[in-house]
Structure 1
């Protein structure tokens, strides 16, 4: 099950997958945060995933928050291009993620409990 934004690349790459489109934009948009929280409330109890994985989209936070409450493990991968500072979503998900992955050693200054996995393409 994928939850992502309805954009051209996602539509083509996930054409044969089960997808739910999240509300966009999410960064600092309280109405869409609430819409995506409601989406998480509808989807997570129904599908009960073993793990929630995010690569840094703003939609991650409501899913991580509810996932934490439901005992679903969470894995967050901080984005490649934010070396000296964390993203808003990364800062929100860091305290509640079961596993927080970074791609650069320098990112450990912001996320000291992170695990360096190296650069992913």
Structure 2
């Protein structure tokens, strides 16, 4: 199984990194911002850079759509996993077209309302994971797996 992890650097990337027990033995690659925290955390991991800022930035959404098309066409992941933010959107939609399974993990600190990214990818995900039972009022089809922390 080949896994694509896509997300903003900082907290979103840390959420994904904390799943190391899941991904350590899998073929994988990462898509995130080319920032010091990402380079430091991912070390020797295979990483593709995307454009930032990505939240509510149409120009970078378009640029990241082209990045997504190129990376996903070349890498052909079986699964795409993200915890946000906006950079996940083009990867999820193009990944869906290419047949990848999509798993989205809603952020820990959003309990009673959706994030914009969560709202945009919820309809197409294969598994939508929340970390609080209260989040299921916002995302009724979600699976509550509890806290990643």
Instruction: Give the root-mean-square deviation of aligned CA atoms.
Output: 0.8
Specify which structure has the bigger relative contact order, considering alpha-carbon pairs within 8 angstroms and separated by 6 or more residues.
2
Residue number in structure 2 paired with 1:29:
57
Residue number in structure 2 paired with 1:7:
35
Poorly superposed stretches of 4+, deviation over 3 Å = none
Q: Which of 106, 115, 121 is 1:87 aligned to?
A: 115
Which runs of 5 or more residues in structure 2 are unaligned? Answer: 1-28
Q: Which of 103, 114, 117 is 2:142 aligned to?
A: 114
TM-score (norm: length of structure 2): 0.79
Residue number in structure 2 paired with 1:56:
84
The DSSP-based 3-state class of the residue aligned with 2:123 is coil
Which runs of 5 or more residues in structure 1 are unaligned? Answer: none
Residue deviations 1:25-72 (CA, integer Å, cap 9, x gap): 111110100011000110101110010000122110000000111111
Number of aligned residue pairs: give it.
121
